[in-house]
Structure 1
């Protein structure tokens, strides 16, 4: 039996292309069109563009460009021979049941009324006027025409149909994050509008529409709230949460979620507070000591101190007491969400902390010799993956590289580039491949990952591990929320991602029923 949800979407030129700009004769996209194209491109739902015979050449060229850019099909719609277009679409997409949604403007609805027996017509109201008997994005069983006011409503409409087709087996997952991050996830197939194998339907949330109305459609929310941080006011206490100021849209989402206690949030906003604060994470990681046993490698936090001001006279003494001898790595205490969160420095001399150009408060952390090898771990529910990446060289190599600049502090942005050495300069380091083979104790880090998951109460997160030369200590140097896990093959990572979401939802449902 075929799936009775949405099996295809057709976007008519009348809905996605505006009239030419009268000043320079350019053809423009309709408001919300680019947003919709991006959502449909990786939706796992066939998408096409239709236009009528006689459309102007500039508009046709624009539609052809869109078709190539977003991998959409193009169909010519002949109002005098609608059946021909229907057959072309069926030939391209198959005819196995389900709905084809045809989106057009209400400027000229005459050709689309003829389609109402085979396709569902979605009419974009040109002035957003309420029509009697219709609700935004909704339709009745008897109606074959649906009205929307904005193109941004279409993904929500698709999800509504697909959820109904799935019945109790379907879950709608609303997601929100910055566009570039969303695109990274979507192009790997992580956010399909059509149901996944385990019944998830992903619906993008947009701040261009009322959040409360969108939440009516969803069962689960997954977010990258750190993308919407405006500022962070750090607490002076480890026990008190920081005051994280989010964007207006994210604040509205938080407010609406307070009224939707039945909605499963992955993960609650309060749970990401430690991940925003490097000092809180470092103190939490001190608890790793309880996992260590005799006769095997240790897993631990790096030694560190918090510095409010680099010019304080007792800094040298504090560094000595914490066994932090140069070189040390200095990081802003705020770990994400603000522009300078990834500003860092490697400092070779204690005297060079004075006037250091790293935001304060900051964390001064031991520099661990690790043979230029970084192990990135990703926790997706109960699944744990890891990859190996090149990292910064050992201290002796760094010092050699910096001698030509008089061992001045090495400033860098960790999101853009890391200080590295060429292979021929790494004579003091074990090889990258050898470090991967014999140093990593995966069982130990797996135990640490499960411990971290419980302590943070996070479903999807990542952390970085370096293995200290000589001692073999496994040092967790960074923790982050909802990483891209793009180094993990899609055929493993994406199903694990979906499984983690579904299982979290079920656990929450079971807890609510107890």
Structure 2
């Protein structure tokens, strides 16, 4: 960790006594960030930067016009940029600067840019215990030829209505749009490459589970309403929706049926988060979960997002700054144990 000159002198004295407290006010934890302008605005809010300064954390913008190796020095690199070139730059930097924590490895993040691969890990976990069961909706990937979709859906025995989502998640608003197809004829109007998921009635509510290292925070968001059999017979066509879950659609303060509003059991979420952190190799992501309407313990993961809109998460500035400090603290403890 980088310290100013006065603090370095203090470190030498403190090391004589055998330890260095990580809470010294002189310390500066330098976090270099490479984020889109939209992400900077939503994430680096004044309340976060103010609290970070008080805790000795300094956020420094990474200049995309200069080589990354010539910038810093950084303790942590925080990023959410897409593109092969950026991935190569970051991997090269990780190799040459193993002392720097990169949040998160580009190859691990890539796993979440494809909706087929992102849910495979959830399906492989097949999580079922006394608190409930978590799976994924039955789904099908279509890469081309929209005219063949009705037959493919029939062969896969998917039940209408069907949710269609873009296969690739590239950070654009379009990649988070979804469509709901009510009849088989309308399926051929969808635009591949897409993932088709069976629509599961869930009381019009989803649970957005934010993961920040070991921390878990759950919020309620309004979602698509349930579809009954009469509505299915009455409606036809494809209905397109923008991003369904957003801060404006918060349901935390709404007057909801307790059976719908009840949060998933904490132990179940902790087990899922732990397994996904291990399998994905990521520390910053969120999981969109729904509960099948009419059940108490049947849950489905419908999406996973890397570095989501943490600015919409209540108390995010405290959770995130504590997480950043914990990363350096664990590194420092490892150094001590190796000496």
TM-score (norm 2): 0.80
Select the structure of larger CA radius of gyration: 1
1:375 has 2:200 as partner: no
Aligned to 2:288: 464
Aligned to 2:135: 300
2:113 pairs with 269, 276, 279, which one? 276
Aligned to 1:366: 198
How far apart are the structure 1 equivalents of 2:50 and 2:65?
21
Kept in 1, the 8 Å contact 2:90–2:106? The answer is no
1:413 has 2:242 as partner: yes
Kept in 2, the 8 Å contact 1:292–1:299? The answer is yes
Distance 1:185 1:308, change over 3 A: closer
The structural deviation recorded for 1:397 is 9.0
Kept in 2, the 8 Å contact 1:193–1:201? The answer is no
The within-5 A match list for 1:76-475 is 163-164=4-5, 166-167=7-8, 169-191=27-49, 195-197=53-55, 199-215=56-72, 217-225=73-81, 228-229=82-83, 245-246=84-85, 251-289=88-126, 291-293=127-129, 295-311=130-146, 313=148, 315-316=149-150, 318-320=152-154, 322-338=156-172, 340-356=174-190, 358=191, 360-396=192-228, 399=231, 403=234, 407-414=236-243, 432-438=256-262, 440-472=264-296, 473-475=298-300
Kept in 1, the 8 Å contact 2:119–2:304? The answer is no
Kept in 2, the 8 Å contact 1:175–1:205? The answer is yes
Distance 1:331 1:255, change over 3 A: same
How far apart are the structure 1 equivalents of 2:152 and 2:325?
47
Distance 1:445 1:339, change over 3 A: closer
How far apart are the structure 1 equivalents of 2:230 and 2:41?
36
The within-5 A match list for 1:12-31 is none
Distance 1:376 1:259, change over 3 A: same
Gaps of 5+ in 1: 1-159, 230-244, 421-430
Equivalenced residue count is 312
Root-mean-square deviation over aligned CA pairs = 3.2
How far apart are the structure 2 equivalents of 1:479 and 1:163?
40
Aligned to 1:486: 311
Kept in 2, the 8 Å contact 1:462–1:479? The answer is yes
How far apart are the structure 2 equivalents of 1:386 and 1:264?
26
Distance 1:393 1:437, change over 3 A: closer
How far apart are the structure 2 equivalents of 1:470 and 1:436?
9
The structural deviation recorded for 1:434 is 2.2
The structural deviation recorded for 1:459 is 1.2
SS in 1 for 2:48: coil
Kept in 2, the 8 Å contact 1:377–1:462? The answer is yes
Kept in 2, the 8 Å contact 1:193–1:203? The answer is no
Task: State which drifts further: 250-259 or 205-214.
Answer: 250-259
Higher normalized contact order (CA 8 Å, seq sep 6+, divided by chain length)? 2
